[in-house]
Structure 1
Amino acid sequence: MKTPRRQFLGLSTGLLTGGLISNAIASRVAAQTPGEHPEWANPVHRVANAPSVPKASVPQDEPGKAALRRGLEMARQSLEISRNDVRDYTAILVKREQIGGTVGEHEYMMIKVRNRKVSGGQLIQPFSVYIGFLKPAAVKGREVIYVENRNDGKLVAHEGGFKGRFLPTVNLPVDGMLAMRGQRYPLTEIGVEKMIVKLIERGEKAMRHEDVTCEFRKGAKLKDRVCTVLEVTQPTQRPDAEFYQAQVFMDDQLNMPIRYVAYHWPDQPGGQGEVIEEYNYLNLKINVGLTDADFDPTNKDYNFYS
């Protein structure tokens, strides 16, 4: 399956969406964890030891659909929590994507996000994003800011490293050619809440097909966070199917998804498909009190105009 891809100065945005894990693929998950970093090394571990959910806890339903139906319920509850209770958050986003048939290396970025909030039909908090790239060296130091309904709808960005000494800060349309170079999704699609919406959309689509299978695992870990994992497998490669297998890690304490990885159909039966996209939200901290200054390019802690 070839999924449409678009991209930006190297800006790494991404959306997270769903899946569950079995012992047969535990080694694959462990082998494809984000690259080493002194602070965030080996974020996924002990997945193989995650026990299956007891059958009695899964309601009787059509074959293969009970777990997916339950997963959709979890996702809808998570979306309600995000919309009602989550004002803002920070995290280390670790992502990799397949672009032009090639799976890129993991990219690390520090992100700050304020969720869109509406009251009485009025926008009281615009969707806002700050991204500071940490590694690899090719993107380290790059910064990006986007605030809904500001700057004529454009993002503000500058390069890091050696190039950043000579290239100016630029304003770019979020869906323009430069902003989309090397990206699967525009910057406006980044974030946990946007990921949940996509999870629901893809789950509802998968529910239409009889051969889709799902299963749960409890007690998996993403770095130091205990998670419930849902794995969805679509054995038939239909035109509207976006993945062969997808895994979603739902943080048990936060009731929010913090990891999504999807795979292509394998070339051989029982083989391993290539990664399509992978997004990990590490050290997710909710309602930290972000202010307008966190999304201001003139902030002295940033380097947009230095």
Structure 2
Amino acid sequence: MQFPKQRFPKKRLLVVTLTASAVAVGLLLNAVSSPGRASSEHARPTDLSDSTASNLSESSSAATTRESTLAEVLEIATEARAAMVHQLESYTARFVKQEATDGGQLGEETEIQLKVQTRFRNGTEAGAMRAYLRFTAPDSVRGREVIWAEDLHDGKLLVHEAGLLGLAPIPPLDPNGFLAMRGQRYPISEIGIVRLVEKLIERGQVDLENPDIKVTITPNFLLDEVPGELIQVTRAKPAGTKDDFSLAEIVMDPKRQLILRYRSFGWPKQAGEAAPLQESYTYHDIQTNVGLTDLDFDPTNPEYGFP
């Protein structure tokens, strides 16, 4: 006896695939948007009065901290960006970020292995920005991979989840759309050292003539044993703006003219409380001009796990 032919195997397979993709996207949103348990590490302003602090070199103390101005900070940042145009075509780094939600809840630290091609090519800004991210912490996102390039993949965000979620392809996402932006403070186009120094310039220009701003610079401030300069910008009273802060901290590597860290703290709800962390971005183990190619931003790269 012959059984009737199964007429709809392809359609059923398609339904299963689409369902799996939908589940993957749903879980992706949950993983991205969940702030997780707050982390207290690196969540307090730098205390320069503590001479035992591990990030103060033997030749650096509160006594060496000098007063400065936003004009000087802007000069430092502008010179750093000008140097990047000629010296920073690409880099890799271990990127650690921590952000508070709009409601003020501090999320877990997220750690990412990062590859970036800047827009700078041969002293010009004619190139396209590209980024590859591999998440290594926390456990909820460990193994996630993200690729974004202005000039590749129609400018879409390519995402590959780890584990069983990685078996189902996730459709390319609009980098500025709801799915990609859910739970994120900034779009992926804002990532990177170059944009960090540009935002520093933009914010500094707004407060350039503000009498409520105090600036100090501490030399020989160690970050990963790299001697840097700690710039602290303190605001005497709230400005009422979107990016308002009571304290901003920037760690510069003066030798390479790179920003290694940026942190901003909001305003305590009550007197005597520590200023709450709003955002923290730190670049560890920076390797510059490492010869990244198209393959580094290609999901078919054999070193990546994209399906």
Indicate the TM-score class for this superposition, using the shorter chain for normalisation: 0.7 to 0.9
In the other structure, the counterpart of 2:12 is: none
Once residues 229 and 72 of structure 2 are traced to their aligned partners in structure 1, the CA distance between those partners, rounded to angstroms, is 12
User: CA, structure 1 residues 225+286, in 2 after alignment: closer, same or farther (shift >3 Å)?
Assistant: same
1:242 offset after TM fit, Å? 2.1
Q: Which has the larger radius of gyration?
A: 2
In the other structure, the counterpart of 1:224 is: 225
Q: Quick one: which amino acid aligns to residue 238 of structure 2?
A: Q
In the other structure, the counterpart of 1:142 is: 144
Structure 2 residues not aligned, in runs of 5+ = 1-27, 35-44
Once residues 82 and 256 of structure 2 are traced to their aligned partners in structure 1, the CA distance between those partners, rounded to angstroms, is 12
Tell me which of the two structures has the higher relative contact order, counting C-alpha pairs closer than 8 angstroms and 6 or more residues apart. 1
In the other structure, the counterpart of 2:281 is: 279
Secondary structure at 1:178 match in 2? helix
User: CA, structure 1 residues 48+97, in 2 after alignment: closer, same or farther (shift >3 Å)?
Assistant: farther
Deviations 1:270-293 (A, max 9, x none): 431111000000001111111111
Matched residues, number: 266
1:120 offset after TM fit, Å? 11
Q: Retained in 2: the 8 A contact 1:234–1:245?
A: yes
Q: Quick one: which amino acid aligns to residue 224 of structure 1?
A: E
Identity across matched positions, percent: 34
Once residues 289 and 127 of structure 1 are traced to their aligned partners in structure 2, the CA distance between those partners, rounded to angstroms, is 14
TM normalised by structure 2 equals 0.79
Secondary structure at 1:91 match in 2? strand
Structure 1 residue 98 and structure 2 residue 120: aligned? no
1:94 offset after TM fit, Å? 0.4
In the other structure, the counterpart of 1:196 is: 197
Q: Retained in 2: the 8 A contact 1:155–1:171?
A: yes
Deviations 1:10-32 (A, max 9, x none): 299xxxxxxx95525899xx7xx
In the other structure, the counterpart of 1:151 is: 153
Structure 1 segments of 4+ aligned residues over 6 angstroms from their partners: 118-122
Secondary structure at 1:152 match in 2? helix
Q: Retained in 1: the 8 A contact 2:226–2:253?
A: yes
- Give 1 or 2: higher strand fraction: 1
1:208 offset after TM fit, Å? 2.6
Once residues 109 and 160 of structure 1 are traced to their aligned partners in structure 2, the CA distance between those partners, rounded to angstroms, is 14
In the other structure, the counterpart of 2:18 is: none
Structure 1 residue 160 and structure 2 residue 162: aligned? yes
Q: What is the 5 A alignment of 1:5-16?
A: 10=32
Deviations 1:89-108 (A, max 9, x none): 00000011001321011111
In the other structure, the counterpart of 1:183 is: 184
TM normalised by structure 1 equals 0.79
Q: Retained in 1: the 8 A contact 2:175–2:187?
A: yes
1:298 offset after TM fit, Å? 0.8
In the other structure, the counterpart of 1:16 is: none
Q: Quick one: which amino acid aligns to residue 128 of structure 2?
A: P
Q: 1:298 aligns with which of 297, 300, 304?
A: 300
Q: Retained in 1: the 8 A contact 2:92–2:113?
A: yes
Structure 1 residue 23 and structure 2 residue 48: aligned? yes
